[in-house]
Amino acid sequence: MFKHLNRPIAVLVLLSIGFFSTSFAADHRNLEEGFPTRTEDAYPIAFKALEFQAGASYEYEGDDKTHVGEFEPELKWGFMKNAHLGLGTPLTWRENGDHTNNGDIEIEGFYNFNVETQSLPAFALKTSVTAPSGVDSRGVDFQLLGILTRGWGQNRLHFNGGYTRNNGRESGERADLYTFGIGFDRPIDLDHLFVAELFVDQAPKKAIDPLFSYTLGLRKQLNPWSVLAFGLGGGFGAPEAVDFKATLAYQLGF
């Protein structure tokens, strides 16, 4: 089912082989989208580090009784201090046979403006572009995400506010989409991190109410270079909200 996606995967593999041979430690407290929550914290990966991440998820959409599977490999590079670049491609399988946009290339840039102080939270901006390289995809979509991170004791709160320009929209869909989320994390011990989030998204279709979603998850430091993450969640609000979602992801630092 992924016969149209060999080229994007090959690009990711070649990049992962070709950058650096120096190993960098993975950080199980550096929150990143899809690992296992959507929440991002305001800090990039380490300068000169290379990070490979792969996440697999399963969703059940009860409104139309559809099972959806997704796998997304992603490569990130700390090309300068306080910033990183990312390249990924989501591979999606739907029970109803809709593979539209499957295999689009996603390029992201992330920049941290400041670390947290006594008076100010950490602040970062993430921009990403989705190129129509997948199956039956069209239009270049643009996303902008503002991120605030604030800690107290061992706890941290994260506020994510995003905007998407939906240039590849179909008839009846909105051109401009907004999202807002709040995330929380707290260490359980030295190797385990508990994460939780609540998001509200503007539905792509104009006639649909906002979509609410939540996730509870765990991130485990396997060794100094790798992290494993697992999350469970669901949604409420509009009937189109996802009823159930499970995510399993792995991260390796080079």
Domains for the chain: give ranges and CATH numbers: 3-253 (2.40.160.40)
Q: Which of 32-41, 74-83, 91-100, 234-243 has the lowest mean pLDDT?
A: 91-100
Take residue 47 and report the two structure tokens written for it: 């300068």
Task: State mean pLDDT over 144-171.
Answer: 93
Residue 22 φ then ψ, to 5°? -75, 135
- Average pLDDT over the chain reads 87
pLDDT at 28: 77
For 179-221, how does the pLDDT look when each residue is reduced to its tens digit (9 = 90+)?
999 999 999 999 999 999 999 999 988 888 999 999 999 999 9
| Res 78 pLDDT > 70 | yes
Closest by alpha carbon to 237, among 204, 199, 205, 206?
199
> Does residue 231 carry a pLDDT above 90?
yes
Q: What phi and psi, each to the nearest 5 degrees, are found at residue 75? A: -120, 130
- Quickly state the pLDDT bin for 144 (edges 50, 70, 90): very high
**Beta-strand runs (E) in 81-191:** 83-88, 91-94, 105-114, 122-131, 141-152, 155-165, 176-187
For the whole prediction, is pTM greater than 0.75? yes
